[in-house]
Amino acid sequence: MADIPVLEAAASEAPSAGKGKWLTIIIAVVLVVAGASAGAWLGPFLTHSSSAKKAKVEKPAPIIKGPALYAALDPPFVINFETEQLVRFLQVTVQVMSREQSTLDLLKANDPVVRNDLLLLFGGQKYSVIATSEGKEKLRAQALEVVRKVIAGAGGKPESVEQVYFTSFVMQ
């Protein structure tokens, strides 16, 4: 009979031990949920402001441009210049690229000014310089600036003239 009271004591302690275990688990879950909630709520305040700086540094969405439009400056430019006592000729066909029809219309309306300024530019070149690829590229960049200057002088937007291309470049 001595064994029976021991069993009664063990049986009476077992349910309280189980209740304590569940209570500990519930408290742990509540603390985890409370911590996660606090972290989510305080997160933006506790992080460095680098994410805010990154948001400010991001580039705006690119502006969608229309298709490229071209205007040929016809007839081709023919320039003669002397080099080493020889008469040399340069024939250049030029096209201007923009994405705005109004710029090309302004270019056509000012064709005599554009042609004059480009003839002066082309005529002032040295044969030995424009015979190289680098010289041709430099001349093309200068021609772009000349055309942009004329467009700006006529009240247009010079940045809307995107490129000047030499579609024919013949030297003799």
Using one digit for the tens of pLDDT, what is the confidence trace for 56-95?
A: 556 666 666 789 999 999 999 999 877 776 778 999 999 9
Q: For the domain 69-171, what is the CATH superfamily, name and number?
A: Band 7 domain (3.30.479.30)
- Domain boundaries in the chain? 3-57, 69-171
Confidence category of residue 46, pLDDT binned at 50, 70, 90: low
pLDDT value for 100:
95
Do residues 63 and 127 make contact, with C-beta atoms less than 8 angstroms apart? Answer: no
Cα torsion angle, 93, 81, 141, 131, sign: positive
pLDDT value for 107:
96
**What average pLDDT does range 25-41 have in this prediction?**
71
- At residue 2, does pLDDT exceed 70? no
